[in-house]
Protein backbone atom coordinates (compact mmCIF):
# COMPACT_ATOMS: atom_id res chain seq x y z
CA UNK A 1 0.00 0.00 0.00
CA UNK A 2 1.74 3.07 -1.34
CA UNK A 3 1.79 6.32 0.62
CA UNK A 4 2.99 8.33 -2.35
CA UNK A 5 3.75 8.04 -6.04
CA UNK A 6 6.37 9.92 -8.02
CA UNK A 7 5.62 10.51 -11.70
CA UNK A 8 8.71 11.75 -13.55
CA UNK A 9 8.01 13.78 -16.67
CA UNK A 10 9.91 15.90 -19.17
CA UNK A 11 9.02 19.41 -20.22
CA UNK A 12 8.64 22.92 -18.90
CA UNK A 13 7.23 23.47 -15.43
CA UNK A 14 4.21 25.37 -16.80
CA UNK A 15 3.41 22.48 -19.14
CA UNK A 16 3.68 19.94 -16.31
CA UNK A 17 1.42 22.12 -14.17
CA UNK A 18 -1.18 22.47 -16.95
CA UNK A 19 -1.14 18.74 -17.75
CA UNK A 20 -1.49 17.91 -14.05
CA UNK A 21 -4.51 20.20 -13.75
CA UNK A 22 -6.12 18.75 -16.89
CA UNK A 23 -5.52 15.17 -15.73
CA UNK A 24 -7.20 15.73 -12.37
CA UNK A 25 -10.11 17.67 -13.85
CA UNK A 26 -10.79 15.06 -16.54
CA UNK A 27 -11.04 12.46 -13.76
CA UNK A 28 -13.66 14.43 -11.83
CA UNK A 29 -11.40 16.05 -9.23
CA UNK A 30 -11.60 19.64 -8.03
CA UNK A 31 -8.11 21.15 -7.95
CA UNK A 32 -6.85 23.92 -5.69
CA UNK A 33 -3.34 25.29 -5.98
CA UNK A 34 -1.50 26.54 -2.88
CA UNK A 35 1.44 27.75 -4.98
CA UNK A 36 2.79 27.34 -8.53
CA UNK A 37 3.97 23.81 -7.72
CA UNK A 38 1.84 22.58 -4.83
CA UNK A 39 -1.85 21.80 -4.40
CA UNK A 40 -4.56 19.30 -3.63
CA UNK A 41 -7.24 17.49 -5.59
CA UNK A 42 -10.55 16.30 -4.11
CA UNK A 43 -13.41 14.22 -5.39
CA UNK A 44 -16.70 13.35 -3.71
CA UNK A 45 -18.51 14.68 -0.69
CA UNK A 46 -16.78 14.82 2.67
CA UNK A 47 -20.12 15.28 4.46
CA UNK A 48 -21.72 12.29 2.74
CA UNK A 49 -18.63 10.24 3.51
CA UNK A 50 -18.99 11.01 7.21
CA UNK A 51 -22.70 10.18 7.19
CA UNK A 52 -22.68 7.16 4.87
CA UNK A 53 -19.16 5.78 5.33
CA UNK A 54 -18.06 3.38 2.60
CA UNK A 55 -21.20 4.02 0.55
CA UNK A 56 -20.18 7.60 -0.25
CA UNK A 57 -16.47 8.07 -0.79
CA UNK A 58 -14.46 11.26 -0.53
CA UNK A 59 -10.96 11.12 -2.05
CA UNK A 60 -8.27 13.66 -1.45
CA UNK A 61 -4.71 13.71 -2.71
CA UNK A 62 -2.02 16.30 -2.16
CA UNK A 63 0.56 16.87 -4.87
CA UNK A 64 3.71 18.79 -5.54
CA UNK A 65 5.85 19.28 -8.64
CA UNK A 66 9.59 19.19 -8.02
CA UNK A 67 11.40 20.91 -10.91
CA UNK A 68 14.46 19.25 -12.46
CA UNK A 69 16.81 20.21 -15.28
CA UNK A 70 14.82 18.46 -18.02
CA UNK A 71 11.35 18.35 -16.49
CA UNK A 72 10.11 17.49 -13.05
CA UNK A 73 8.61 14.99 -10.67
CA UNK A 74 4.93 15.10 -9.78
CA UNK A 75 4.57 13.61 -6.30
CA UNK A 76 1.09 12.40 -5.35
CA UNK A 77 0.60 11.94 -1.60
CA UNK A 78 -2.30 9.87 -0.28
CA UNK A 79 -4.29 11.78 2.34
CA UNK A 80 -6.36 9.78 4.80
CA UNK A 81 -6.45 6.07 5.37
CA UNK A 82 -10.15 5.33 4.97
CA UNK A 83 -10.17 3.89 8.50
CA UNK A 84 -13.52 5.53 9.21
CA UNK A 85 -15.02 3.03 6.75
CA UNK A 86 -13.34 0.05 8.42
CA UNK A 87 -11.29 -2.49 6.48
CA UNK A 88 -13.43 -2.06 3.38
CA UNK A 89 -12.91 1.70 3.51
CA UNK A 90 -9.16 1.30 3.88
CA UNK A 91 -8.96 -1.10 0.94
CA UNK A 92 -11.08 1.23 -1.17
CA UNK A 93 -8.86 4.24 -0.43
CA UNK A 94 -5.70 2.27 -1.24
CA UNK A 95 -7.22 0.93 -4.45
CA UNK A 96 -8.39 4.42 -5.46
CA UNK A 97 -4.89 5.87 -4.87
CA UNK A 98 -3.28 3.14 -6.98
CA UNK A 99 -5.84 3.68 -9.73
CA UNK A 100 -5.36 7.45 -9.67
CA UNK A 101 -1.56 7.26 -9.81
CA UNK A 102 -1.76 4.76 -12.69
CA UNK A 103 -4.31 6.95 -14.50
CA UNK A 104 -2.16 10.08 -14.18
CA UNK A 105 0.91 8.16 -15.28
CA UNK A 106 -1.00 6.96 -18.37
CA UNK A 107 -2.16 10.53 -19.03
CA UNK A 108 1.44 11.78 -19.13
CA UNK A 109 2.44 8.81 -21.30
CA UNK A 110 -0.31 9.69 -23.81
CA UNK A 111 1.05 13.24 -23.91
CA UNK A 112 4.50 11.84 -24.73
CA UNK A 113 6.22 13.29 -21.65
CA UNK A 114 6.34 10.38 -19.18
CA UNK A 115 9.81 9.27 -18.10
CA UNK A 116 8.76 6.89 -15.32
CA UNK A 117 6.77 6.26 -12.15
CA UNK A 118 7.61 4.88 -8.73
CA UNK A 119 5.25 4.11 -5.83
CA UNK A 120 6.39 3.95 -2.21
Per residue in 30-72, pLDDT (tens digit) is 999 999 999 999 987 554 444 444 454 678 899 999 999 989 9
* Mean pLDDT, the chain, integer: 85
**Domain parsing of the chain, residue ranges:** 4-119
**pLDDT at residue 20 in the model:** 96
Chain mean position to CA 79: 10
Q: Selecting from 3.40.50.720, 3.20.20.10, 3.60.110.10, 3.30.310.80, what CATH number does the domain 4-119 have?
A: 3.30.310.80
Amino acid sequence: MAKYADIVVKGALDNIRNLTHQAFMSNGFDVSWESQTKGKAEKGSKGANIMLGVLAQHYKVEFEIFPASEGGTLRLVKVGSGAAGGLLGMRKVNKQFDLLSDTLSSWFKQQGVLIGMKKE
